[in-house]
Amino acid sequence: MLKKKTLVTGLSAVMLTGCAFGAEAFSDTQPVHAAAASKTENQRAQELVNSLYQSAFKGEMPQNVKGLKINQSTRQDVYNKIGEPEQKADSRNPFDLYSWNMGNPGYGFSYHKNGKISEIRYFGTGVERRLNLGSVTPDVLSKQIGSADKILTVPETGETDYVYHTGQYELRFVIGSDQKADHVNLKAR
């Protein structure tokens, strides 16, 4: 008896809600959520591009590695700030690699023979990539920081490299075939 009463009460509530509020009470809100998500993604992409661009003029990347500078900071400075890499540079890969985790972005560091940073690579976050580097497109770059100073093709991968001169440095947004940023490189010009 209890099941029937619960079912009847539930159905009555649904019918009354529909009658009282009209058919719109049951309308799908997915387009509204999609538009809001898209706006949020675009806003975060713009903020990230601006942050990367402004930091590049100082020869550094923002966020967790802020203060580590191209041609100034050493491998030991990096280790002191963010620890030892998960994967150290070797003959196949010239970068010490730090993976993304718990919402923190991943990075790569390449060094000169004297131990100072020659290049910093920013990989963004993994889990919420669409809210980070995965929302950066050539259109976002153009609207936020203007036309690239150079556009190159990466021979090994076919990716497109959007190069921006930032004072003594080059900021390179590497865009994949999906037209989204794969990673960002910073090095001296």
Phi, psi of 46 (to 5 degrees): -60, -45
The CA-atom distances, in angstroms, between 46 and each of 41, 51, 170 are 9, 9, 19
Q: Tell me, what's the pLDDT at 38? A: 64
**Distance of alpha carbon 83 from alpha carbon 99, whole angstroms:** 12
Q: Tell me, what's the pLDDT at 42? A: 81
Q: Tell me, what's the pLDDT at 127? A: 75
Q: Roughly what angle, to the nearest 10 degrees, separates helices 30-56 and 138-145?
A: 60
- Number of structural domains (the chain) is 1
| 107 domain residue, yes or no | yes
| 2 domain residue, yes or no | no
**Distance of alpha carbon 171 from alpha carbon 163, whole angstroms:** 6
| 12 domain residue, yes or no | no
| 127 domain residue, yes or no | yes
Note down the domain range covering 70: 36-188
The CA-atom distances, in angstroms, between 175 and each of 57, 134, 158 are 21, 10, 9
| 9 domain residue, yes or no | no
Residues with pLDDT less than 70, the chain: 1-38, 40
Q: Which sign, positive or negative, has the C-alpha torsion 170, 176, 178, 183? A: negative
How far, rounded to the nearest angstrom, does the alpha carbon of residue 153 sit from its chain's CA centroid?
A: 21
Q: pLDDT tens-digit profile of 154-178?
A: 999 999 999 999 999 999 999 999 9
| 97 domain residue, yes or no | yes
Write down the pTM of the prediction.
0.79
| 153 domain residue, yes or no | yes
Give the residue carrying structure tokens 């959520």.
Answer: 33
Q: Tell me, what's the pLDDT at 4? A: 45
| 18 domain residue, yes or no | no
